[in-house]
């Protein structure tokens, strides 16, 4: 498992700058003003730092970005990186500045001089997130970054403020690792085992096997995985940090460890990315890990449906009719619309067993949401305005793009079936909305509910300010923030 790079907070020590190897990072505001240690560093560099800060290049440098001055005279360090962080910087800019540092840590160590003392916890969080590197399947000696030290005015206070964010970084890394893993490694067995291992953190973890699911009547979920050699499972993770009589928040994740599309098989091009079709379950797992690590004072239950959608002589066919745990029958028009079948049963089970105060499901559910929103925003659907607004506020605070989408009776009517209670798809137009309408049929009217379609945000083909190409961990931070702000007393 990947872990964030350890970050030490230490008092500012100007004398240590001359001997520091690796990389020195200087965090300065838009005015280019240096503190006492920064001026000492400039003298060691024979004025080169001050010359850069007075140059047009620094004026043009955007907030949160870094510029490297290589092999500076007068220092043992191989480079000095100048990172601009405005005096009125917000959380997003501070994390971006940290990301600029984390993108290029030195194997010999990185010393960050942040005399201004602004947004230090957020800076360190951005540094940790961007330094992520998934190397589990690369041979040879991995190049690990050396020690990372932040020189700050009040190291004890900065470390205390950063501690909850360190737990959040662990949760994000856990999600990224799960989403990045190939399907021959992250089978339903392996996924369940990784979740069960979190019992050592204080989570109660229960694994429901196919026999259990059959007894519960989860025929919709079981139908998806019946063509696979890997057995379907539901894993329940319970964190009890709140009052004993307080109803939990339920998080439900789609965990399709590989999706060929089944009999409605996908085109070959790009199918290798369908290892990420368990992204919703990965986010739920990351949130639960974060809550346990930071000892959150809330009751939260995370449920994930783990299946593999494969073509086989026993696989589900287009035209089959399955009965859900709720009792409704579903005509399977397209076996590649499988995630909603998994979620339907797990959503109903979560409500029947736990009577939650609210339910949030996450799934890499539709390509249609990518057409609508690209890769910048997750599609948000809800039956409760106040509940939805709480999530959107949290997502905005964490810089995770989210956009509410419409729902309505006209979309729901497209799910009408000739031979069953409903179809599992409603056509190409409004595809992400009709998928949400399908899920809503398995949500009780009195239960506040949010559906997050993360198909466009779970895994990206380019680097971002806080993540390398690949799994992003989108949603872990926003859900952790929502739980902290709304459910912790």
* Active-site residue list: 266, 340
Give Cα 58 to chain centroid, integer Å: 33
Asked if 440 and 324 touch (Cβ cutoff 8 Å), the reply is: no
Alpha carbon distance, N-terminus to C-terminus of the chain: 32
474, burial (CB in 10 Å: exposed 0-12, middle 13-18, buried 19+): buried
Q: How far apart are CA 192 and CA 306, in angstroms?
A: 8
| CB neighbour list of residue 356: distance below 8 Å, 6 or more residues apart | 247, 248, 249, 250, 301, 350, 447
Asked if 299 and 241 touch (Cβ cutoff 8 Å), the reply is: yes
Q: How far apart are CA 53 and CA 72, in angstroms?
A: 15
Give Cα 219 to chain centroid, integer Å: 29
The single residue listed with the structure tokens 């440098």 is 61
| CB neighbour list of residue 197: distance below 8 Å, 6 or more residues apart | none
Q: How far apart are CA 415 and CA 137, in angstroms?
A: 43
Q: Which of 26, 63, 103 is nearest to 465 (CA)?
A: 103
- Count Cβ neighbours within 10 Å for each residue of 449-466 and write b for 16 or more, e otherwise: bbbbbbbbbbbbeeeebb
């Amino acid at each position: 498992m990947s872990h964030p790079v350890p970050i030490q907070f230490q008092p500012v020590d100007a004398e240590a700058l001359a001997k520091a190897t690796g990389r020195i990072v200087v965090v300065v505001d838009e005015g280019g003003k240096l503190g006492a240690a920064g001026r000492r560093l400039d003298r060691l560099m024979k004025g080169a730092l001050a010359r850069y800060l007075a140059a047009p290049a620094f004026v043009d440098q955007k907030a949160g970005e870094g510029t490297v001055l290589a092999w500076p005279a007068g220092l043992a360090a191989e480079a000095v990186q100048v990172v601009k962080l405005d005096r009125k910087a917000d959380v997003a800019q501070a994390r971006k500045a940290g990301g600029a540092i984390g993108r290029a840590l030195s194997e010999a160590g990185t010393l960050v001089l942040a005399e201004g003392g602004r947004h230090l916890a957020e800076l360190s969080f951005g540094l940790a997130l961007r330094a992520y590197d998934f190397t589990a399947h690369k041979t040879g000696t991995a190049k690990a970054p050396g020690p990372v030290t932040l020189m700050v005015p009040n190291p004890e206070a900065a470390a205390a403020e950063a501690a909850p964010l360190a737990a959040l970084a662990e949760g994000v890394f856990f999600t990224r690792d799960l989403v990045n893993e190939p399907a021959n490694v992250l089978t339903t067995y392996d996924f369940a085992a990784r979740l069960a291992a979190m019992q050592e953190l204080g989570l109660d973890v229960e694994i429901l096997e196919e026999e259990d699911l059959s007894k519960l009547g989860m025929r919709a979920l079981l139908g998806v995985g019946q063509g696979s050699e890997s057995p379907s499972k539901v894993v329940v993770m319970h964190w009890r940090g709140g009052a004993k009589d307080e109803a939990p928040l339920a998080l439900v994740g789609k965990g399709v460890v590989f999706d060929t599309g089944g009999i409605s098989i996908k085109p070959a091009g790009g199918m290798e990315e369908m290892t990420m079709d368990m992204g919703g379950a990965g986010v739920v797992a990351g949130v639960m890990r974060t809550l346990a690590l930071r000892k959150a004072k809330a009751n939260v239950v995370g449920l994930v449906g783990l299946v593999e959608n494969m073509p086989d002589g026993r696989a589900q066919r287009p035209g089959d009719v399955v009965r859900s745990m709720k009792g409704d029958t579903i005509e399977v028009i397209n076996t590649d619309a499988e995630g909603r079948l998994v979620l339907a049963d797990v959503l109903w089970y979560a409500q029947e067993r736990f009577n939650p105060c609210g339910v949030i499901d996450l799934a890499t559910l539709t390509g249609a949401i990518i057409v609508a929103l690209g890769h910048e925003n997750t599609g948000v659907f809800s039956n409760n305005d106040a509940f939805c607004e709480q999530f959107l506020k949290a997502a905005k605070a964490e810089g995770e793009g989210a956009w509410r989408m419409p729902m309505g009776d006209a979309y729901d009517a497209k799910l009408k079936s000739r031979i069953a209670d409903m179809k599992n798809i409603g056509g190409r137009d409004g595809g992400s909305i009709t998928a949400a309408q399908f899920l809503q049929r398995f949500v009780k009217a009195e239960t506040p509910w949010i559906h997050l379609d993360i198909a466009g945000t779970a895994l990206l083909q380019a680097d971002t300010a806080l993540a390398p190409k690949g799994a992003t961990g989108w949603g872990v931070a926003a859900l952790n923030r929502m739980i902290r702000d709304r459910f912790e007393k």
